[in-house]
Amino acid sequence: MEISPKRLVAGLFLIFALGVMFAIVNGQYTENYGQSLPVIVYGVSFVSIVLGSIIVLMFQWKISAIQMQRVLKVLPKDERTIVSILFDNNNRIEQNYLVVLSGMNKVRISRVLKKLEERQVVEKKKIGNTNMVILDV
């Protein structure tokens, strides 16, 4: 799963905002009590951020899998087979392995991939005697 640049920037901004908030709270705490925040507060906050991130990623992967199942239902059988194999292999596979895993012949795979490529569902990149087929959805 790739993280979009917008989400990455938003995440970094939120972490920066959290740091600013900690600085403000630390300043207030120091003014009122004459000492800085205990280190345990920073530790608990860090652990909370890490656990929250893991939970978000787990749900995102689950949502992606559910969305992919919905997409697969509307595709013709041959296209569904290829997209399903790509999804199961981290969204990329060499075309010759795709022939083996799908049970289709080379010509049929090429024709189905051409249709999928025209609709911008997959992308083919030449590597040696075969192509790397990449799911582009």
- pLDDT tens, 83-128? 989 988 988 999 999 999 999 999 999 999 999 999 888 999 999 8
Model pLDDT, residue 22: 86
Q: Where do we find the tokens 């060499």?
A: 94
69 shares its domain with 83: no
Of the candidates 51, 49, 99, the residue with the CA atom closest to the CA atom of residue 78: 99
Judge if 100 and 89 occupy the same domain: yes
pTM of this prediction exceeds 0.75: no
Strand-pair category, 92-94 with 122-127: unpaired
Please state, in angstroms and rounded to a whole number, the distance separating the CA atoms of residues 110 and 45: 52
Q: Where are the alpha helices (DSSP H) in 75-126?
A: 77-88, 95-102, 106-118
> Which pLDDT tens digit goes with each residue over 4-24?
778 778 888 888 888 888 889
Tokens 């790397």 correspond to 132
| Domain end point (choices 73, 91, 109) | 73
**Residue 124: which domain range?**
75-135
In what helix (H) or strand (E) does residue 71 lie, and over which residues does it extend? helix 39-74
The residue to which tokens 């970094």 are assigned: 12
CATH of the domain at 97: 1.10.10.10
Q: Give CA–CA dist 2/111, Å, rounded.
A: 28
Whether residues 88 and 45 fall in one domain:
no
Q: Are the CB atoms for 135 and 95 separated by under 8 Å?
A: no
